[in-house]
Structure 1
Amino acid sequence: MTLLTVERIKLFSTRSPWWCMILATALTVGLTSVFAATTKSRDLNDLTPSVTQFAYNFGLVVMMVMATLAVTTEYRFSTIRSTFLAVPRRTPALLAKVTVVGLVAGIVGEITAVGSWAVAKAIKPDAPLAIDTAQEYRNVFGVGLIYLLSAVLAVAVGLIVRQSAGAIVIELVYLLLLENLLPSIPTIGDNIQHWLPFTVGNNFIVAGQPETSDGPAVITGMPFGPWGSLVYFAAVCVGLFVVAGFLAKRRDA
């Protein structure tokens, strides 16, 4: 509990996490409010709970940046040395850090998801925005889990790279470019796409959603169902964190 308190204090002792949380919420909820406000009356039936989450990736990217900075700034200012001197085994300190950062990201993810749905319902009360099915519950309340696990992955990348700019660039290039470009490779592109971690993680949210929806993109032919996709995504994120923790213990701070 002491380590968790220490990591919480370290995280919120700088302004960047606060700005990241505000920006993630403002981007996601703001874009959804604009979308809902500009939806015409004849298109109200298309405004569903899944559609209210179309912008969740914007907030996800911001929270991954926050998670990365939570690690790399410690290496930049050498405060990580004090942490490892206080906790020579290092693993408990790293687990405390990833727990705090992951929980913060997960909470922000839930706030952005529920906020996006709530603001759309407030703007267009006649739209079919009731949450009734398991898919609709996952589409809204499952976003926080994806944020949490993505923060774990971002912390792992930060531990491996140890430089803010390099780690953030790697994450952005992979998330925004590679996962969109790799499926275009002839012959094997579709098979690769079905195993890309963020694509599989997204399937947890969108599985069962109509393919014609304006919500998060639906990829057909995925190897797992929604909960299997979540387990696969969690395994990738946790596995990378285990590798990062091993490297952090082997290398000098």
Structure 2
Amino acid sequence: MTLLAVERIKLLTTRSPWWCAVASIVLAGSFTALVVGNATPEFPASVATTQYGYQMGLAVIMVLGALSVTTEYRFNTIRTTFQAVPNRTAVLAAKATVVALLALIIGELTAFSSWGLSLLLAPDYDLALNSTADIVNVAGVGVVYAIAAVIAVAVGLLVRHSAGAISLLMIYTLAVEGLVQLIPKVGADIYEWLPFNVAHKFLTGNGESNGGLEFAGPPLSTSPLSPGWALAYFAGFALVLLIVAIVTTNKRDA
């Protein structure tokens, strides 16, 4: 508990978490407003549509997770931390936990603010959370953000430089997974198992929250997993990457 409190204080006494929280809510909400505000009978709004911009916020969360680590290396506070607590594994696990919890809160605020904004912009459409799929599509955003934050922490530990870690995360999440599909013959098969495509399957399932219309929401994931197994796969990927990062950090000089 002491380590968790220390990491919470270190994280929340900097400006980056607060700016990232605001940026996530504003970016996701703005993008959602553009989509929902232009809904028509031919392209109606649905619960899935209200979360059209969640990936914009996800990018911000990845930046937050990476900065929570790389700024400590930049200002050499990580060395002081390891001197005070020689158990590096416990320190890094506490950091990942605190960042994940903060990302969870930001994710829920982002998702429900986008949903609430959509209710105001499109009152004539059925945007109520009437099913489990609808609830997961909205409330699940925070869970995805939390797991993605752990991935970002792990990448930050491995790279240790803010620019490098953030560039790597942004390039991968915004471009690499989509470009993999262009690989002849095997691209689509590989894409099915890439982590953020799988995470999208957890949120959108088979399109149940699209109101029965395939185009009334973001494109669906191609992952063959069920939403539950998709979440487990995404979490497992993050855990393995974090373990690799912690083992690597234990072997390096601070």
TM, length-normalised to structure 1: 0.95
Alignment partners' CA distance in 1, 2:5 and 2:227: 34
For 2:121, the equivalent position in structure 1 comes to: 123
Q: Percent identity?
A: 46
Specify every segment of 5 or more residues in structure 1 that has no aligned partner in the other structure, as ranges: none
Alpha-carbon contact 1:90-1:249 (below 8 Å) kept: yes
Alignment partners' CA distance in 2, 1:228 and 1:97: 26
For 1:147, the equivalent position in structure 2 comes to: 145
* 1:122 Cα deviation after fit: 1.9
Alignment partners' CA distance in 1, 2:26 and 2:238: 26
* 1:16 Cα deviation after fit: 1.5
For 2:214, the equivalent position in structure 1 comes to: 212
What secondary structure sits across from 1:48 in the alignment? coil
For 2:66, the equivalent position in structure 1 comes to: 68
* 1:15 Cα deviation after fit: 1.2
Specify every segment of 5 or more residues in structure 2 that has no aligned partner in the other structure, as ranges: none
Residue identity matched to 1:238: L
Alignment partners' CA distance in 1, 2:126 and 2:103: 29
| 2:175 is the alignment partner of 1:177 | yes
For 1:33, the equivalent position in structure 2 comes to: 33
CA RMSD of aligned residues (A): 1.4
Quickly say closer, same or farther: Cα 1:132–1:185, change in 2 above 3 A. same
Alpha-carbon contact 1:135-1:208 (below 8 Å) kept: no
Moved segments of 4+, more than 4 Å = none
What secondary structure sits across from 2:181 in the alignment? helix
For 2:105, the equivalent position in structure 1 comes to: 107
| 2:12 is the alignment partner of 1:12 | yes
The number of aligned residues is 250
Alignment partners' CA distance in 1, 2:247 and 2:230: 26
Residue identity matched to 1:168: I
- Structure 2 matches for 1:52-63, cutoff 5 A? 52-63=50-61
Q: Which of 146, 163, 166 pairs up with 1:165?
A: 163
Alignment partners' CA distance in 2, 1:216 and 1:35: 10
Residue identity matched to 2:218: P
* 1:120 Cα deviation after fit: 0.6
TM, length-normalised to structure 2: 0.95
Indicate the larger mover: 3-12 or 239-248: 3-12
For 2:234, the equivalent position in structure 1 comes to: 233
Alignment partners' CA distance in 2, 1:197 and 1:123: 32
What secondary structure sits across from 1:175 in the alignment? helix
For 2:185, the equivalent position in structure 1 comes to: 187
Alignment partners' CA distance in 2, 1:108 and 1:216: 21
For 1:21, the equivalent position in structure 2 comes to: 21
What secondary structure sits across from 1:184 in the alignment? coil
Residue identity matched to 1:39: A
Please list the CA deviations of residues 11-36 of structure 1 after superposition, one character each: whole Å capped at 9, or x if unmatched.
12221211111101111112222333
For 1:248, the equivalent position in structure 2 comes to: 249
* 1:219 Cα deviation after fit: 2.9
Please list the CA deviations of residues 113-161 of structure 1 after superposition, one character each: whole Å capped at 9, or x if unmatched.
1111111112222211011122111111111110000000000000000
* 1:213 Cα deviation after fit: 2.8
Alignment partners' CA distance in 1, 2:206 and 2:192: 16
Alignment partners' CA distance in 1, 2:193 and 2:132: 24
Alpha-carbon contact 1:160-1:244 (below 8 Å) kept: yes
What secondary structure sits across from 2:214 in the alignment? coil
Alignment partners' CA distance in 1, 2:219 and 2:69: 31
Residue identity matched to 2:234: F
